[in-house]
Structure 1
């Protein structure tokens, strides 16, 4: 099983691929879309759940999503038809770092996909290229709530603590206009859903060729979460505007 397929299955019970509950997603979108008629771009959209929710809530919204996973984009297209928003959604199979568009966007979002763009600041740089004057960026990435172990850093990456993360964002020319730090409940619910969805998929296929691998991946992920990074890793979501306008 490739990584993309594993992720698709693991997010079956938690289509927002980040440790955020439905209310947090709604509030972040409200702050990112103050008018409701914006043009929105999601860099690393996966199954485009952020865009689908935004389109369903705002009938004048137009949205585009970019991702390298054809399976996720196919899922998004089917879901868009089911929710009646397919005529306002355009999806691109492309590397988010290489994507170009002939028009700017009022909201550029990238939540939980910074690793694919090289980290938080490179993600903001990518967003800046697509942002209309006065537009907003909705970004979500990890940070260290407590001093991590070396194993945690090697596993997840070299994040900063929360104050340093915000200082770096400000120094890069951005001003937060809203933010959310995922709660312990959100963080745990996300991990339980990720491992549980993958394990349930495997258990429902007792004779499936990928059963053993899926169970092993779920168990390994659960062990890493509980023993390596649960007590040190957090997740921050920010709605940003350019400080210089």
Structure 2
């Protein structure tokens, strides 16, 4: 069972692929689009387009572009856009986000929970800088260490200590790259727990509902492994911050 299929199933009931509740998503988009009746938004690693579809629903004068490697997720994004009546205002590209280029810059660039596509936060900032219009904004979400990670936490994440830093250091790195945080949200423990239970629960439920499917056992195994890594490893250790950034 490939990683893309697992992710699609796991996010069936939590389409935002990050530990953010609906209210937090709404607040972040409201600040990111504030004072702009029309504009162009780009999401790098858009999946099924949840962020962009919400942005288009909130901003009738906005247009959007999404980029992702998961063709099936993009198909669902197109279907959702048609159902919402915003299909003419969104373009979706089956492409590695690192290879995306555009003739016109964007007023808002988003990459929340997908910085791994670029190899981390700092390469994501560098890529976004090339795509953002002067005065534009970047909405980027990244993990950070809430406390020193134990061996169990690192094993549960399949991560190394140097993959993340604490919140202060992460923010200082952003500033050092010439970006200024103008807003931000740190996900709460409740948001994390809801996200992880939704992730593991959706995957496990799919396996229960499709016991004869050839991928059922793999889906259940992935859900169990993820749940164990979270509850016995990184719960309370890995945090998540979403910054709204502008260039100096």
TM-score by length of 2: 0.96
Aligned to 2:128: 127
Aligned to 1:188: 193
Aligned to 1:100: 101
> Could you list the runs of 5+ residues in structure 2 that have no partner in the other structure?
none
Q: Contact 2:112/2:142 (CA < 8 Å) preserved in 1?
A: yes
Give how far 1:57 is off.
1.0
Query: What does 1:6-17 correspond to in 2, within 5 Å?
Result: 6-17=6-17
> Could you list the runs of 5+ residues in structure 1 that have no partner in the other structure?
none
Q: Which moved more, 1:100-109 or 1:154-163?
A: 154-163
Give how far 1:151 is off.
4.6
2:19 partner SS: coil
Aligned to 1:200: 205
Aligned to 1:174: 179
Q: CA offsets per residue over residues 65-109 of structure 1, 9 Å max, x none?
A: 000110110010000001111000000111111110111000001
Of 210, 215, 218, the residue aligned with 1:213 is: 218
Matched pairs, number: 243
2:149 partner SS: coil
Give the whole-Å Cα distance in 2 for the aligned partners of 1:36 and 1:203: 46
Give how far 1:156 is off.
3.2
Aligned to 2:65: 64
Q: Contact 2:152/2:232 (CA < 8 Å) preserved in 1?
A: no
Aligned to 1:21: 21
Aligned to 1:156: 159
1:108 partner SS: strand
Aligned to 1:136: 137
Q: Which moved more, 1:96-105 or 1:202-211?
A: 202-211
Aligned to 1:228: 233
After superposition, the CA RMSD in angstroms is 0.9
Aligned to 1:44: 45
Give the whole-Å Cα distance in 2 for the aligned partners of 1:242 and 1:220: 40
Give how far 1:213 is off.
0.9
Give how far 1:149 is off.
1.6
TM-score by length of 1: 0.97
